[in-house]
Amino acid sequence: MSSIKNTETLSENKMSKQGKIMVAMSGGIDSSVAAMLLHEQGYEVIGVTMKTWDHQSSGSSKKTSGCCSLDDINDARILAVNMGFHHLIIDIREEFDKYIVSNFVNEYLAGRTPNPCVLCNTHIKWEALIKRANQLDCEFIATGHYAQVREENNRFIISKGADEWKDQSYVLWGLSQQNLKRTVLPLGKFKKNEIRQMAKERDFEELSKKAESYEICFVPDNDYRAFLNHKVEGLQEKLAGGDFVDTSGKFLGKHRGYPFYTVGQRKGLEIAFGEPYFVIRIHPETNQVVLGTKEELNKQVMFVKEPNLIKYESLTHEIEALTKIRYKDAGTFSTLSSLESGNIKVDFHTPVSGIAPGQSAVFYEENDLLGGGFICNSNLVDE
C-alpha cells in the first residue's frame, strides 16, 4: 500500500474538517506556504513565530539565519496580516538556551557531535506549539517540514516527503505519538519547485525567491569552533596542544583541542601524511584525537541509545532497515536488534564510514520512518 496515498487521504480528512490550527511560521517560504494552504482550505489559522535566539548571544556581528532573524519574524507577521489570520510571537529563548545551546556545547565537550535540530523539534518547538495550541483551543498544529504523517494500525507514522532532495523526516524521529496525533504536514506531498510556484501564483513574488539557510540558527557564521570559544571561556587556551595519535597509540603531532574535531573529519587537521587521514575517535579525558586511514574509519556495527520508535511500538525481533547516520546520507541496509540495555544494535550489511557519536541514526522501512536514536560508542547504559 502506498504510504504517500495514505498520507494524502489523512491530510484530506483532517483539512476538510474546519477548526483551529496553529502553524509554526519561521518567515521562510515553506512555513509561509503551509499557512497559506491551510488558510485556503478553511482552517482558522493562528500563525506562531518562535523567538529562540538573540543576535548578540553568538559572539558574532553577522546576521542570524532562519527562525532567529528579526527580519524573518517580521516577514511572518506581515504575511499573516496580508492573509487575514492571527499571528503570535512566542519568546522561548530561555528554554532554547537551557536545553538546545547547552546540550550543543556539552556534547562537543564530551567528544561527541551534537544534533541540535532533532532536539529542538522534539523538546522545544513541538512542545511549545502543543502548549500554546492547548491554550488557544487549537485541535492541530502544523509545520512546513517536507514529510508526511498518517494513521495506521493505531500508530501515527511519519514517511518521507515526495521531494526526495528536501525530505526532512530525518529530523522528526524524536516526536511522540501523542504529538504526532495532532500534527499536520501540508507540504509532504509537494516538491520545492511547486511550493515556490504556489507563492508566486499568490502574488508573493519576493517570498517565492527567498533563499534557504542550511546553517545552525544560533551559529550564524557556521563556525561552531568560534561559537564554542565564545561560550566557554579559555577553552582553546586550555586544550590546545593535545596529541594526535594513530590507532596504535603512536604520537603523530599536536592539535588545537579535541572539541574542535569531529569523527570523519579529513580537512583542517593541519598535519600532513603520505595518504589521507581521518578523525577516527576522540578521547576527551586525555585530550587525544585518534587519526587513521579510510579503511580504519569504516565500521559494520553501531549502537544507538535513547531510541524512539515511530512505526512500531517496540522491536520484538530483528528487523531489516535502511539506516541513515547523517541528514544527507543515502542510507545503508542493516539489521536492527533491541538490547537489554534499551539500546539498539545496528549490524550494517556493508561497512559504513564516519559514524559519529552524538549524531542521529534514523531507520527506514521503505518510505516509512521506523524511528531513531543517538549514536553512541558502545552498549554502555551510562555512556
Cβ neighbours of residue 232 under 8 Å, at least 6 residues apart? 105, 109
**Residue 243 host element (H or E):** strand 242-246
- pLDDT digits over 189-240, tens only? 999 999 999 999 999 999 998 887 777 888 867 899 999 999 999 999 999 9
Q: Could you tell me where in the chain the CATH 2.40.30.10 domains are found?
A: 296-376
- Active-site residue, selected from the candidate residues 68, 117, 217, 376: 217
Cβ neighbours of residue 22 under 8 Å, at least 6 residues apart? 46, 47, 48, 129, 132, 133, 136, 138, 140, 141, 142
CATH code matching the domain that covers 233-292, chosen among 3.40.50.920, 2.10.60.10, 2.40.30.10, 2.30.30.280: 2.30.30.280
Class of domain 296-376: mainly beta
Query: Once rounded to an integer, what is the mean pLDDT over residues 306-330?
Result: 95
- Active-site residue, selected from the candidate residues 67, 120, 138, 376: 120
Q: Which amino acid is at 19?
A: G
Task: Specify whether the CB–CB gap between 303 and 375 falls below 8 A.
Answer: yes
Alpha carbon distance 111, 289 (integer Å): 9
Q: Could you tell me where in the chain the CATH 3.40.50.620 domains are found?
A: 3-208
Cβ neighbours of residue 294 under 8 Å, at least 6 residues apart? 276, 278, 353
Strands 288-292 and 360-365: unpaired
Whose cell is 590507532? That residue is 247
- pLDDT digits over 66-75, tens only? 455 788 889 9
Q: Which amino acid is at 126?
A: W
Residue 65 in this model has a pLDDT that exceeds 60: no
Alpha carbon distance 331, 158 (integer Å): 17
Task: Specify whether the CB–CB gap between 369 and 324 falls below 8 A.
Answer: no
Q: Is the pTM of this model over 0.85?
A: yes
Question: CA torsion sign, 345 to 347 to 351 to 352?
Answer: negative
Q: Helices (DSSP H) in 183-281: which residue ranges?
A: 192-201, 205-208, 224-231, 235-239
pLDDT at 123: 87
How many residues can be counted in the chain? 383
Q: Could you tell me where in the chain the CATH 2.30.30.280 domains are found?
A: 233-292
Is 376 marked active-site? no
Q: What percentage of the chain carries pLDDT values higher than 90? A: 80
CATH for 3-208? 3.40.50.620
| DSSP states of 175-205 | --HHHHTTEE-TTTTS-HHHHHHHHHHTT-H
pLDDT at 260: 97
Query: Once rounded to an integer, what is the mean pLDDT over residues 4-17?
Result: 40
Question: CA torsion sign, 262 to 264 to 265 to 270?
Answer: positive
Is 67 marked active-site? no
Query: Once rounded to an integer, what is the mean pLDDT over residues 256-277?
Result: 93
